[in-house]
Amino acid sequence: MNLSRNLLRSAVVYGGRIPPLLRSYSTSPTTSHRNLISLADLTIPELDTLLQRASHFKKTYKQHILASGAIDHSLQDKTIAMIFSKRSTRTRVASESSTALLGGHPMFLAPSDIQLGVNESLYDSALVISSMVDGIMARVGAHEEIELLAKHAKVPVINALSSRYHPTQILADLLTMLENAAGPGAPLPSLSVLAGLKLAWVGDSNNILNDILVSFPRLGISVNVAAPEGDAYAPDSVVFDTMRKGLAAEPSGLPQGIVEWTHNPYDAVRDADFIATDTWISMGDEDSKSQRLKDFQGFQVTEALANKGGAKPDWKFLHCLPRKAEEVDDEVFYGPRSLVFPEAENRKWTIMACLEKLYKQYKDQGFQILGFPCNQFASQDPENDEGINNFCQLNYGVSFPIMAKSDVNGAKANEVFKFLKHEKPGMLGLEGIKWNFTKFLVDKHGKVVERYSPTTKPDSIAKDVEKLLKQ
């Protein structure tokens, strides 16, 4: 029983196919919140869920572009401050339009709009701005700036770019890679389909590469890096330490990618499924432009480079944008191998999923939902686990975990449901579950607090959830 209590801690467990939550729950602000500074902050299941949610937003928007209420306004009455100390096209457009689609108000704050950096410190700005808004997206210079902002802000902070990491770009890359694996119109597969693939990075050792390194190897994707020789292009020791810790924390037995570092682009692209690059002269590197262009001679991504190096026949190309011709030629950039424009659009949908994730207030306070599909009631769930999971995500926008299909009654009943039914029988003391959508509410100590009938709607459970969260 102790095992079951640990498994069920702070969960509402559903027997049967999962109905959509009919509204976004909201509570008073709390002092505890999560920030997104790099993809190292997210577990693989969280990454998977976020990308599935981004795909759901994208498909919903394109199918119901004029339908009012097609996308839940989870940011209703929320203001998101967007502090951009560096100019941006994709991140700014994606952030503002995403916030608006979720019903929130985007407040863009450029250097010329506020006192930050003039006669007000970042610390002061963090305290003042976060006292008036509900979340912050920040595009900064030095990575220390985003860390300081996240440390002192009273609301969630999303890193929209710093000198060390660029998580929203790599989320867009992963969504694009999953779409490429699925094919046109197919349901988005899980991240596990990317295990065993190889990405070749031909370019600068920068923030884009850094976020790739702390995420891709954990997903089983190998990364071959080709960067010029010299200290300016050397691996970031902090990033490599974070990468190693992340890999060590993953369960044993799961596939892990290998990272290789070279100075030869031809070696890097060998057997590559994807070839990626980025600007060679980042903002702040303009003074060293002439030297950098010399250092990167031979690094332009071309068909000739890929063929001579031995990339996979169907390799695809990725780029953060904006692009300069010396980084990749027109044949690749505008050709059939290029995924750069879907990649750019996907910045919007992944940022949108990030914003929604940070505002699942109940979840931030420890609330969780687990869904258990069951085929014991009129054979409603004949599909396999993957089919059921895709159905829930595509048709209902479900973003909470869907467990393996289980029996809830009989000799083969899942141990979880044996425990739930014993602790909280139904009417007349009968333990059997009568139909899909039976729900159980469990507190943080593993105690089964309440059992709800199949017809009980999620809205009517809200008061019980709020009461438990305040205890």
Peptide bond into 401 cis (omega under 30): no
The answer for residues whose C-beta is within 8 angstroms of residue 131's C-beta and 6 or more apart is 154
Quick one: DSSP state of residue 18? P
Parallel, antiparallel, or unpaired for β 448-452 and 157-161?
Answer: unpaired
Q: Please say if 392 is a catalytic residue.
A: no
Both tokens assigned to 443:
């507190």
What is each CA distance from 202 to 209, 223, 289, in whole angstroms?
A: 10, 11, 18
Burial of 394 (0-12, 13-18, 19+ CB in 10 A): middle
Q: What distance in Å separates the CA atoms of residue 87 and residue 160, rounded to the nearest whole number?
A: 11
Marked catalytic residue, from 320, 354, 374, 392 = 320
What is the CB neighbour count within 10 angstroms for residue 319? Answer: 25
Q: What distance in Å separates the CA atoms of residue 280 and residue 358, rounded to the nearest whole number?
A: 33
Backbone angles phi, psi at 343, to 5 degrees: -60, -45
- Please tell me the total number of residues recorded for the chain in this structure: 471
Backbone angles phi, psi at 421, to 5 degrees: -65, -35
Both tokens assigned to 446:
């593993």
H or E element that contains 391: helix 385-396
For 196: left if phi > 0, alpha if psi spans -120 to 50, otherwise beta; the answer is left
- For 345, the 3-state DSSP assignment is helix
The closest alpha carbon to 103, from 69, 65, 154, 135, belongs to 69
Active-site positions read 320
